């Protein structure tokens, strides 16, 4: 019996035909995605659901999707899909992360031109019968400095286009290596230097706890007088109210925004201000981009439903069905090891070295490597997955090396991940016990046995009395319960570490209290994907 797919949003006829040509039965109902009740009535008949942004794949809808095996999002954003709920029901969620990169980058360049020459206002003025030639005095892009915050996939394309316009390009990106920057003709700088030097600033980072408000009032005040700011990435990266004040004062000469803190944006502090160009989230809105992502999602969903092949999945590793049964726990461990070292550094990563020892060395190392890299990259980009992570690492000049060897120690198998930056190396090793649960077994060369939990704390200190008491007392005073406590040391009186598995995440005051004891060289909260 042929698998059956529902297309509930607008998708190109070519994409719909791909399903049919591949032998997948398809119902094209592009309006039903906006009618949640009607969608809920019929969703139980389908093996696949192909969507854009209008359909909301909520937990309530997925409860009705008793046969659904895959959701394919034509585009990168999956805010309209409840991924945890889908995962619990064994539903794969796929997206098409690179189909609209060029389109979004071009929109940012177009917005930069528009704000440099005040094109929308000049057009409106001329349409109204005025001829205000002297009113609209613009600036050239030639020889100006463009500051790019986030030089990944889309940001990298913007850098390339800007260099073609003979602009000077400086980039702030913790994951951009010096070598990669030199190769592309970009000058790598810290954020404060970018703010001080840039004539134009464009943002191309995901919205995370670290990037939210990256251009707040304090940082906007550090910018060069007369700067122009472009945001085609995510709303919330820029404090709109603070930017509005800077525009009114004249410190910022102009702004161009395609994204807003609240969307659809019916109101914003930026609306109505002179030399502010605004568009309704059009970054991916070109015929080519929409066609690309539609064709990609149809191919990916067909591949999975017909052959079991998984591509660009956000909640499932890209491995065969046979491999998944054996590799599942090891893939999870690989991701945890990557997440550990990724959360332990704020420096650009030069290399990731992975050692596979024993029976794990005979598994699908490409998939395990992808899980390690995804774990590392998720520290700065929560949207990354096992497919996109290696591509992003390559774009940023991160060297990934793999070593495999026969059983060489106490454990039948283990994985060791070493991350290399300009100033140091960090390593962690782990294994999977017979219960299928991952364990950390070595950090910084110190042997341990630490169960992996969702919320953890890592500390380093000199091996002196009082550490256990300080940790227990301080966490207890702040209402934090310890589920598991592991200690290790290099030798008596030397380096020591502690890894704690906690029942809840740590807040700022608790971390400050631990640091204020003066006992710890390092205090790091760590978060890991739930089992």
Q: Which of 390, 422, 452 is the last residue of a domain?
A: 452
- Report the CATH number at residue 9: 3.40.50.720
pLDDT at residue 261, as a whole number = 94
- The answer on 428 and 322 residing in a single domain is yes
Both 200 and 137 in a single domain?
A: yes
218, 263, 288, 504: the catalytic one is 263
Residue 189 maps to a domain: yes
Quick one: pLDDT at residue 320?
61
Q: The tokens of 82 are what?
A: 């409840």
List the catalytic residue out of 52, 73, 234, 336.
Answer: 234
Residue 103 lies in a domain: no
pLDDT at 512: 95
Q: Which two tokens stand for residue 335?
A: 């991701």
Residues 13 and 74 reside in one and the same domain: yes
Within this chain, do residues 235 and 293 fall inside the same structural domain, yes or no? Answer: no
Question: Quick one: 23 and 38 in the same domain?
Answer: yes
pLDDT of residue 155: 94
Is 426 a member of any domain? yes
Q: Tell me, yes or no, whether 219 and 88 share the same domain.
A: no
Residue 430: CATH number of its domain: 3.30.1330.90
DSSP per residue, 83-120:
HHHHHHTT-EEE--TTTTHHHHHHHHHHHHHHHHHTHH
End position of a domain, from candidates 433, 452, 471: 452
In degrees to the nearest 10, what's the CA dihedral of 236, 238, 240, 241?
A: 110
pLDDT at 173: 93
Helix 153-164 to helix 388-395 angle, to the nearest 10 degrees? 30
Query: Domain total for the chain?
Result: 4
| Residue 107 placed within a domain | no
| Inside any domain, residue 32 | yes
Does 425 lie in the same domain as 519?
no
In a domain, 529, yes or no: no
The one-character DSSP state at 505 is: P
- 3-class secondary-structure state, position 429: strand
pLDDT of amino acid 81: 93
What is the reported pLDDT for 531?
59
Residue 375: both structure tokens together: 């774990």
In a domain, 111, yes or no: no
Active site residue 281: yes
φ, ψ of residue 161 to 5 degrees: the values are: -65, -40
Catalytic residue among 22, 161, 180, 281: 281
Could you tell me if 380 and 237 lie in one domain? Answer: no
Asked if residue 42 belongs to a domain, the reply is yes
Q: Which of 156, 260, 173, 262 is nearest to 210 (CA)?
A: 173
Name the domain boundary from 452, 482, 512.
Answer: 452
127 carries an active-site annotation = no
Give start and end residues of each alpha helix (H) in 128-267. Answer: 153-164, 178-184, 191-197, 217-221, 240-249
Rounded CA-CA distance 501/115 in Å is 50
User: Same domain for 10 and 151?
Assistant: no
pLDDT in tens, the chain (531 residues): 899 999 999 999 999 999 999 999 999 999 999 999 999 999 999 999 999 989 999 999 999 999 999 999 998 878 899 988 888 787 889 998 888 889 999 999 999 999 999 999 999 999 999 999 989 999 999 999 999 999 988 999 999 999 999 999 999 998 888 888 998 899 999 999 999 999 999 999 988 888 999 999 999 999 999 999 999 999 999 999 999 999 999 999 999 999 999 999 999 999 999 999 999 999 988 888 889 999 999 999 998 899 877 888 887 766 665 676 678 899 999 999 999 999 998 888 999 999 999 999 999 898 899 899 999 988 888 877 776 688 788 888 899 999 999 887 788 899 999 999 989 899 999 999 888 889 999 998 899 999 999 999 999 999 999 999 999 999 999 999 999 999 999 888 889 999 999 999 999 999 999 999 999 999 999 999 875
Using a 10 angstrom Cβ sphere, with 0-12 exposed, 13-18 middle and 19 or more buried, the burial of residue 341 is buried
Instruction: Report the CATH number at residue 512.
Output: 3.30.70.260
Q: What is the model's pLDDT at position 503?
A: 94
Regarding whether 141 and 86 lie in a shared domain, the answer is no
Establish whether 263 is a catalytic residue: yes
Considering only the C-alpha atoms of the chain, give the largest distance between any 2 of them, rounded to a whole number of Å. 84
Instruction: Give the range of the structural domain holding residue 239, as residue numbers without chain letter.
Output: 119-274
At residue 318, the pLDDT reads: 63
Closest CA to 95 of 325, 301, 240: 301
Reduced to 3 states (helix: H, G, I; strand: E, B; else coil), residue 374 is helix
Same domain, 243 and 147: yes
Q: In terms of domains, do 422 and 439 share one?
A: yes
């Amino acid at each position: 019996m042929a698998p059956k797919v529902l297309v509930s949003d607008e998708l190109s006829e070519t994409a719909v035909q791909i399903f049919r040509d591949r032998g997948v039965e398809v119902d094209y109902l592009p309006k039903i995605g906006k009618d949640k009740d009607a969608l809920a009535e019929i969703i139980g008949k389908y093996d696949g659901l192909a969507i854009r942004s209008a359909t909301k794949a909520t937990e309530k809808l997925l409860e009705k999707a008793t046969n659904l095996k895959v959701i394919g999002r034509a585009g990168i954003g999956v805010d309209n899909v409840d991924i945890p709920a889908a995962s619990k029901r064994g539903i794969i969620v796929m997206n098409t992360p690179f189909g609209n990169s060029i389109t979004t980058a071009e929109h940012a360049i177009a917005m930069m031109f528009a704000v440099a020459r005040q094109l929308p206002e000049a057009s409106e003025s001329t349409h109204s019968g005025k001829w205000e030639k002297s009113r609209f005095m613009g600036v050239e892009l030639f020889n100006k400095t463009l500051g790019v915050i986030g030089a990944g996939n889309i940001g990298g394309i913007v850098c390339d286009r800007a260099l073609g316009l003979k602009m000077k390009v400086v980039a702030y990106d913790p994951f951009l290596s010096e070598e990669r920057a030199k190769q592309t003709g970009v000058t790598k700088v810290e954020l404060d230097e970018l703010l001080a030097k840039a004539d134009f600033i464009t943002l191309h980072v995901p919205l995370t706890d670290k990037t939210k408000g990256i251009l707040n009032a304090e940082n906007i005040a550090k910018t060069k007088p007369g700067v122009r700011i472009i945001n085609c990435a995510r709303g919330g990266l820029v404090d709109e109210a603070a930017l509005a004040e800077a525009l009114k004062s004249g410190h910022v000469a102009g702004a161009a925004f395609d994204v807003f803190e609240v969307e659809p944006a019916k109101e914003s502090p930026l609306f109505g201000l002179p030399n502010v160009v605004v568009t309704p989230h059009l970054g991916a809105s070109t015929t080519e981009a929409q066609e690309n992502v539609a064709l990609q999602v149809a191919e990916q969903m067909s591949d999975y439903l017909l052959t079991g092949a998984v591509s660009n999945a956000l909640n499932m590793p890209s491995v065969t069905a046979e491999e998944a049964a054996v590799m599942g726990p090891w893939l999870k461990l690989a991701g945890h090891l990557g997440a550990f070292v990724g959360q332990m550094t704020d420096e650009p990563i030069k290399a990731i070295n992975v050692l596979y020892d024993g029976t794990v060395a005979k598994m699908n190392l490409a998939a395990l490597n992808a899980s390690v890299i995804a774990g590392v990259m998720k520290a700065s980009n929560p949207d990354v997955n096992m497919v996109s992570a290696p591509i992003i690492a390559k774009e940023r000049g991160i060297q990934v090396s793999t070593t495999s060897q026969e059983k060489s120690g106490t454990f039948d198998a283990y994985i060791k991940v070493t991350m290399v930056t300009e100033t140091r190396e960090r390593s962690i090793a782990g294994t999977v016990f017979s219960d299928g649960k991952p364990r950390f077994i070595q950090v910084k060369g110190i042997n341990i046995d630490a169960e992996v939990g969702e919320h953890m704390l890592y500390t380093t200190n000199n091996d002196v009395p009082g550490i256990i008491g300080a940790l227990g007392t301080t966490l207890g005073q702040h209402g934090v319960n310890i589920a598991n406590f592991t200690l290790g040391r290099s030798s008596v009186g030397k380096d020591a570490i502690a890894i704690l598995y906690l029942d809840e995440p740590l807040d700022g005051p608790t971390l400050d209290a631990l640091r204020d004891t003066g006992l710890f060289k390092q205090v790091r909260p760590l978060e890991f994907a739930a089992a």
